[in-house]
Chains A and B, each alone.
Chain A
């Protein structure tokens, strides 16, 4: 790799202050530091440092997302082939079809998100942040496979610019940029985000409502007279299918199993907080149990553990709620924050028939509340210190 390093050293002066390309210094630095670790030595503080850096942390999140990505590719293709009743489609056909559906969405997300990140980095002379690698990957995975590409571009633009860059970039944002992007699309282009959008379809053919509905959609629009027990008995709603994720839904978020694999990576490496994940699950189960006791709508009556595998909960709890920038930072705060996310998911699912899926809104709401929760915890800590003194 010596020649590449030499090349970098030769063109580096072009990006110095006052040199022709100095505006693009963040771009050069990003490429340079992507290829080779920086040569900087410690100037202050501890003289030796840990090998960890943000690049590695972010890459670990990407690795953890890969099971969801691969499953999502297969599932998007599989659902397409099933809906279009393509005879004889095998595993490879599903994958190829899935790649055709999913890759453009991911490429647009990275390209447009990357454009804004680079623009802001050059204009404000801050380094290009690795956070984009994760945000640009998370966002496509929580979109319906039928999303128009221009909406992907608009969504990631809103998330990166309004959600992150105007606050000063990665680390300064209040809410999760990927989720904000999705919420923007959800409210601005509701037609692309609700209804029969969960299977990619050819332009001339609409997927019929029954095959295209997600389990939560079925529950939210249950005809009168049909009970949850009937739906489960008839196989319309199956825990196993939801757990494995072989259902219509967001590209990468349908499979709780794939999310569990990701959770394993994140927890084994210590990148994500186990407290938040566990608290989300506990909050969801407690609220769902209460709902089964006191609610009578179909959504309230499904067994609590179905909620764990349904919709985007697993994906949200593993990858979205645990975002350290927008989540709670204190130990106690993490428990409260996670628990309330879980509980809010159930409240939204059960009480609001208009939003059968509540995970996105629950996490965004708690993102906004996280600093407040931390503030309470810190105040409590200070009060205890005072009492001791």
Chain B
């Protein structure tokens, strides 16, 4: 069945990752960043100098001791970095390739179809891979006690420079099918596989799930849009969402009986040399510096975990994060333009029709950088945001309710059906340069803390 999303905006940034996979040499170090799993209450179980195997426990969640954070690679713990309020920020492992991985229960593809829900959840929880399955509302790690009415698997990538799900699936079709089969064991409801126009034979060939085709500009690939169109969230409903590329990792865990040692990530953006834009098979937790040191166009760039719209800025010396499947790089742009408010605007990208470029045929190679292109101004309720919001949400009034701390109104206006990433385009097109994602994130956090 096909869904057409009309509202949205494709920026058309330069640096699309090519559909090729390059194998990177093994990394000498590997790291985990426990703060990435924001909900975890940290209990550190290793010390500097300890030798660990791949899959050995590094840390567990005090609130739910079954949930463990495990070593992405075997070796010796080189350092443990603590930061704000003594939270562990980074655990660095010197990789020892000879160390054997920690074994987990291995399944045959046939087993994954008939697996026991509790056993699957137990394995996902103890390996930490449960964090790849997100629960709505609030987009938090799936709660094993919850019974989702459906699981939505996202096999799309409309945000700039997300990893190509088709490419990853084609590299490990049995793992993806096993992952999908496992998902059917986790819910009494349906498992939906949401695919975009660029889905190929592998994704379309997946069995035993309901396939849905979505077309249209970004955010057609966002899970909130898929939920709203396929099976909207009602009061007290819970759904789980998982990216198809993450499901591949889950499938590999269950088929191999070990934590996957590698994954495929995309590298793209105007800050990457065009020849280097592509996909790379990289060690879990591996150091990104060797990859980034000679592929960037310039030293003054911003490296982003995730996509350009909703991702997190990281340093180029960073290691691959646990949930990360794409690396985007944009140039740092502090350029000042003379009388910028009155230039014809042939070289400026805008969703509005105030620039000459908006009247010319679309380009796909905008080399946008990090410049804000303006100053923050008072919020004006214009209905402007609604043009890039395919959900049935009145963005202006939702933002206003959150700013006023009126959580009741925010819930009534549908904030629970959304995720901050759905408002990324509002950030982009706002003439007042508001940070709408940030506002919605704070609103959701406030509601989560206060309870509905």
Of B232, B310, B337, chain A has the most CB atoms within 10 Å of the CB of B337
Verify if B375 is at the interface (C-beta below 8 Å from A).
Answer: yes
- Shortest CB-to-CB span from A325 to chain B, Å, is 5
Which of B28-36, B117-125, B278-286, B352-360 faces chain A?
A: B352-360
From 283 to 331 in chain B, residues with beta carbon under 8 angstroms from any chain A beta carbon are 302, 304, 308-311, 313, 328, 330
Of A34, A40, A271, A388, chain B has the most CB atoms within 10 Å of the CB of A40
Which residue in B333, B341, B429 is a CB contact (below 8 Å) of A56? B341
Residue pair B431, A53 in contact (C-beta under 8 Å): yes
User: Nearest chain-A residue to B367 (Cβ)?
Assistant: A48
- Shortest CB-to-CB span from A60 to chain B, Å, is 6
Residue pair A40, B345 in contact (C-beta under 8 Å): no
From 350 to 389 in chain A, residues with beta carbon under 8 angstroms from any chain B beta carbon are 374, 378, 381-382, 385-386, 388-389
Complex contacts, A325 vs chain B, CB 8 Å: 380
Given A46-B424, A381-B394: A171 touches B377 (CB 8 Å cut-off): yes
Residue pair B371, A49 in contact (C-beta under 8 Å): yes
- Shortest CB-to-CB span from A331 to chain B, Å, is 6
Residue pair A169, B378 in contact (C-beta under 8 Å): yes
Verify if A202 is at the interface (C-beta below 8 Å from B).
Answer: no
Which residue in A324, A334, A389 is a CB contact (below 8 Å) of B234? A389
- Shortest CB-to-CB span from A120 to chain B, Å, is 13
Given A38-B375, A48-B308: A54 touches B431 (CB 8 Å cut-off): yes
Query: Contact mask A16-53 → B, CB, 8 Å, 1/0?
Result: 00000000000000000111111111101111111111
Which residue in A46, A271, A330 is a CB contact (below 8 Å) of B428? A46
Verify if A218 is at the interface (C-beta below 8 Å from B).
Answer: no
Complex contacts, A44 vs chain B, CB 8 Å: 435, 437-438
User: Nearest chain-B residue to A370 (Cβ)?
Assistant: B381
Residue pair A48, B370 in contact (C-beta under 8 Å): yes
User: Nearest chain-A residue to B329 (Cβ)?
Assistant: A47
Complex contacts, A41 vs chain B, CB 8 Å: 302, 332-334, 370-372
Verify if B403 is at the interface (C-beta below 8 Å from A).
Answer: no
Verify if B108 is at the interface (C-beta below 8 Å from A).
Answer: no
Which residue in A40, A129, A269 is a CB contact (below 8 Å) of B353? A269
Which residue in A52, A60, A169 is a CB contact (below 8 Å) of B429? A52
Complex contacts, A45 vs chain B, CB 8 Å: 424, 427, 435-438
- Inter-chain CA distance A41–B309, complex, in Å, is 14
Residue pair A40, B372 in contact (C-beta under 8 Å): yes
Verify if B348 is at the interface (C-beta below 8 Å from A).
Answer: yes
Verify if B90 is at the interface (C-beta below 8 Å from A).
Answer: no
Which residue in A39, A48, A51, A330 is a CB contact (below 8 Å) of B383? A330
From 218 to 236 in chain B, residues with beta carbon under 8 angstroms from any chain A beta carbon are 232, 234-235
7 smallest A-B Cβ distances: which pairs? A171-B378, A53-B374, A37-B340, A329-B381, A51-B348, A46-B427, A36-B336
Question: Which residues of A are interface residues toward B (Cβ below 8 A)?
Answer: 1, 4-5, 33-42, 44-57, 59-60, 127, 129, 168-172, 268-271, 273, 324-325, 329-331, 334, 374, 378, 381-382, 385-386, 388-389
Assuming A57-B354, A171-B432, A269-B354, what are 6 further A-B pairs, CB within 8 angstroms? A45-B436, A46-B428, A47-B302, A52-B350, A54-B432, A330-B383
A-B contact pairs, 7 of them (CB 8 A): A39-B334, A41-B334, A44-B438, A45-B437, A50-B429, A53-B377, A56-B354
